[in-house]
A = this chain, B = another copy of it.
Amino acid sequence: MSERRDLPEKETVGFIGLGIMGRPMARNVLAAGFALVVYDLMPEPVNELVNAGASAVTSPAEVAASADVVLLCLPDSPDVEAAMSGPQGLLAGTRQGQIVVDMSTISPVTARALSEKAAAQGVILLDAPVSGGQVGAANGTLSIMVGGDAAALDRVRPILAAMGKTILHLGDSGAGQVAKACNQLVIAVTIEAVAEAMVLAAKAGVDPAKVRAALLGGYANSRVLDGHGERFLERNFTPGFRTRLQYKDLNIAMDAGRAYGAPLPAGALVHQLYAAMMARGDGDLDHSALVTLLEELAGQSIA
């Protein structure tokens, strides 16, 4: 394999992390005609991908050695750090000019530190967290928020296009993670806003469904009011997007606020409310279940 291949017909893609998101994303890369090399700690998703035509290796370092471009989709910052820098980590197998795309949602501070570490070895690390959930992962309709070298993004764009319909370059290294943190912050605070309004309506003796319908027609309209508000009313707390991941992503947003000197008062409040959700043992409910915490505080369900 050559040191560097500029825009070959189909590059060999490495994929590390075949979880709820990574597995369907990897399948879409394979379905788009790329050769695929996979690695995961769990045998079951590896077998599934191998049966679908991928080859499997036994360490991140081997993925780097076998693939032109490597994608990562892991739960949190420490997982990505281990996959990058551990003894059999990616950076033990990468070569000059190789591109690694981290599609996990992790701390922008970590993303920037790892990018510098990779650059010291001549490796280009892009941060490329996604939004759109399991449905978007399965359908290849994710939004991908990319930070890092623009030319490197152009090289891997055909691979990302197998997984997402919107690929946005937000800026330098870490910018994708910053945008993702902002996204998760806005969603969480908006869920709380809608939950408070609907609980207020219920306690004041007004049908929350009617209030939601009225608010959808004006400046209070949001995708959260629409989608999550409907979940509140239908008591549909099957994820969707799990409370434990929303909490994890708020940890990231608050850490970023602290690192970069941005006070986030509403974010901090809602972070603590999600901490209460975790303490209640509700981590596996959809993040819209935040309304049940408010209902408990108010002593009344809205539906």
Q: Which A residues form the contact surface with B (CB < 8 A)?
A: 108, 131-132, 143, 145, 147, 166, 168, 170-172, 174-175, 178-179, 181-183, 185-187, 189-190, 192-194, 196-207, 210-211, 213-215, 217-225, 227, 253, 256-257, 259-267, 269-270, 273, 294, 297-299
Contacts and interface: CB of A to CB of B under 8 A. Distances in A.
Contacts of A262: 196, 199-200, 202-204, 298
A211 B129 CA distance: 13
Question: Chain B CB within 10 Å — which of A178, A220, A257 has the most?
Answer: A220
A183 B132 contact: no
B264 A200 contact: yes
Contacts of A182: 197-198, 200-201, 211, 215, 220
Question: Chain B CB within 10 Å — which of A181, A183, A267, A298 has the most?
Answer: A183
A27 to B, nearest CB: 22
Nearest to A267: B196
Given A196-B266, A206-B179, A224-B222, A143 B214 contact: yes
A143 B215 CA distance: 10
Given A211-B182, A223-B222, A204 B131 contact: no
Contact of A189 (B192, B205, B256): B192
B178 A206 contact: yes
Contacts of A202: 262
A297 B202 CA distance: 35
A270 to B, nearest CB: 7
A105 to B, nearest CB: 13
Contacts of A270: 266
A36 to B, nearest CB: 27
Given A187-B220, A222-B222, A203 B143 contact: no
Contacts of A259: 204
A203 B168 contact: no
Given A186-B193, A266-B270, A273-B265, A201 B179 contact: yes
A189 B189 contact: yes
A129 to B, nearest CB: 11
Contacts of A215: 179, 182-183, 186
